[in-house]
Structure 1
Amino acid sequence: METLFTVLLILHIAAGTISLIAGPVSMVNRKGGKQHRLTGKIFFYAMMLVSGTAVTMAALPNHHSPFLLIIGVFSAYLVISGYRVLNLKGLAKGRKPPLQDWGISLVMAAFAAYFVFAGFTGGSFDSSSIISIVFGSIALLLVAKDVRKYTKAPTDKNFWLYDHITRMIAGNIAAFTAFLVVNNTILPPVVAWLGPTVTGTAVISFFITKYKLKARKEKATGEVVAGKTGSN
């Protein structure tokens, strides 16, 4: 059993290192470009290996770890839903999502509810309880957003882009959080856990604002051109 744990740990560290490099590189590459797609796929598969090994290690006897379980499950949900949304552009036209997307969201909802419940009923309201509640609550909010777009057609045709940005950067946040928590020897635990979330949220806001302004500008330009054409 210890040999299995060691192998899983080596794979986990290797995949985590790759994700820490590929994630930021993908972010700065031109969205939709060849390099962005390549580094994005590398990041996706690396994070899937990170998540899979984390959950497996957390389930092994004598190695139970709420930290690994929370990060593993949440990371998997973020990158899978962030990748899947690229295939859900048709929701804005009234199309229905495949059952697998419902399944992904419902599984995350169950784990998120457990994280929140465990945080409030853990006996001592310490940093681990706060972390469990915060991550569980964030996951529930994202699942609620999933359900909303699955049941009601999004009014913004670029919803998929904003969701993709949010989920994939959140996956980066999870990777950096895990790195900090494991290697941190200076910062308070809560800062190590939530610091990347605060920083990453600002990055998400930056990119979403950037692309919303770009879309608004393109729409305004199109309306001006249409107006000039109609007046001729």
Structure 2
Amino acid sequence: MEILFTALLIMHVIAGTTGLIAGPVSMVNKKGGRQHRFTGKLFFYAMMLVSVTAVSMATLPHHHSPFLLIIGVFSAYLVSSGYRVLYLKGLPKGQKVLSLDWAISLTMAAFAVYFILSGLTGGMGSSFGSVNVVSVVFGSIALLLVVKDMRKYTKAPADKNFWLYDHITRMIAGNIAAFTAFLVVNNSMLPPVVAWLGPTVIGTAVISFFITKYKLKARKGSAKDELVTVKIAAGS
């Protein structure tokens, strides 16, 4: 059993290091470009391996870790839903949602409820000092994202660029999860709550920046199209 744990840990560390590097690089690369797609896929597969190894280690006898379970499940949901939304661009035009997308969201919903209830009742234990608080916070965030999933699955999104905003949000949130795990494991100075939630606060600001940037860009594009239409109509 110890040999299995060690093997999983090595894969986890290698994949985590890859994700920590590929994630930020993908963010600064030109969106839609070849380098962005390459580093984005590298980040996706690295984080999925991180999640699988984290959940596996967390469930091994004598190695139960609420920390690994929360980060593993949440990371898997974030990057998988962030990746899958690229294939749902047609939802505003009536595209059908696959069973895979429903499965991803519903699985996260079940874990989110578990995290919230366990955190409120102290069921997550006392590892890292604040894991119950974090369990409630991360579970609540996950549940809000799942509700958003349900809305776009059952009602066509009004904004045709919804997929871009969801992709940005989920992938940066995946980066937040990776940095949170790294900081919590290696933290020796910051209060546990700061180590757990600090990356979320900073990452949320980064998400807001990129979403605002692309929404403004989309509005300028729409305004330009309307101006061209008016000029054509006036000249006809």
Q: TM-score, normalised by structure 1?
A: 0.98
Letter in 2 for 1:207: F
CA distance in 1, matches of 2:142, 2:186: 25
Deviation readout 1:3-39 (Å, 9 max, x if unpaired):
1100110110000000000000000000000000000
CA distance in 1, matches of 2:49, 2:104: 17
Aligned to 2:43: 43
Deviation readout 1:34-53 (Å, 9 max, x if unpaired):
00000000000000110000
CA distance in 1, matches of 2:141, 2:59: 23
Shift of 1:231: 0.8
Secondary structure, counterpart of 1:89 in structure 2: coil
Aligned to 2:52: 52
1:141 is aligned to 2:151: no
CA distance in 2, matches of 1:139, 1:201: 14
Aligned to 1:89: 89
CA distance in 2, matches of 1:27, 1:95: 28
Secondary structure, counterpart of 2:16 in structure 1: helix
Aligned to 2:154: 151
Percent identity for Structure 1 against Structure 2 = 76
Q: TM-score, normalised by structure 2?
A: 0.97
Aligned to 1:202: 205
Letter in 1 for 2:154: T
Aligned to 1:163: 166
Aligned to 1:172: 175
Shift of 1:96: 2.0
CA distance in 2, matches of 1:34, 1:95: 26
Secondary structure, counterpart of 2:120 in structure 1: helix
CA distance in 1, matches of 2:149, 2:84: 11
Letter in 2 for 1:44: F
Shift of 1:94: 2.0
CA distance in 1, matches of 2:206, 2:103: 29
Secondary structure, counterpart of 2:156 in structure 1: coil
CA distance in 1, matches of 2:205, 2:157: 24
Aligned to 1:186: 189
CA distance in 2, matches of 1:58, 1:100: 25
Deviation readout 1:179-202 (Å, 9 max, x if unpaired):
000000000110000000000000
CA distance in 2, matches of 1:202, 1:94: 33
CA distance in 2, matches of 1:224, 1:122: 59
Q: CA RMSD in A?
A: 1.1
Q: Which runs of 5+ in 1 are unaligned?
A: none
Aligned to 2:75: 75
Runs of 4+ in structure 1 displaced over 6 angstroms?
123-126
Deviation readout 1:120-173 (Å, 9 max, x if unpaired):
111689622110000000000000000000000000000000000000000000
Match of 1:226 among 207, 224, 229: 229
Secondary structure, counterpart of 2:203 in structure 1: helix
CA distance in 1, matches of 2:132, 2:74: 16
CA distance in 1, matches of 2:130, 2:35: 39
Secondary structure, counterpart of 2:171 in structure 1: helix
Letter in 1 for 2:116: V
Aligned to 1:18: 18
Q: Which runs of 5+ in 2 are unaligned?
A: none
